[in-house]
Amino acid sequence: MNEIMLGAIALGSIAVSLFFFRFWKSTRDRFFLLFALSFLIEGVNRIVLYESVGLSEDAPIYYLIRLVAYGLILAAIIDKNRGPRRRE
């Protein structure tokens, strides 16, 4: 049962990343690109690490990759809310 849930989460993450890539392609907004990369990293992380480590999420590499993915989301939000730079 855990393998099915892991596959569903990976599939969902990759599908969401494709939606964000499509939004980025039409708007060229960095916000969508960073979100797409974050979800793609999370989906690929679930697949690759399951194949190499198994269902044990005690490995520190899980947390390091998730930290990078969530850091991208945080960077996208900060970048979007920073506002435009003014020329003086």
Q: Which pLDDT score is estimated for 76?
A: 95
Q: Which pLDDT score is estimated for 1?
A: 64
Domain presence at residue 65: yes
Structural domain boundaries enclosing 21: 2-81
Domain presence at residue 88: no
Distances (CA, A) of 47 to 12, 14, 26, 50, 81: 12, 10, 29, 5, 33
Can you give the pTM of this predicted structure? 0.83
Domain presence at residue 62: yes
Domain presence at residue 12: yes
Low-confidence ranges of the chain (pLDDT < 50): none
Number of structural domains (the chain) is 1
Domain presence at residue 18: yes
Domain presence at residue 40: yes
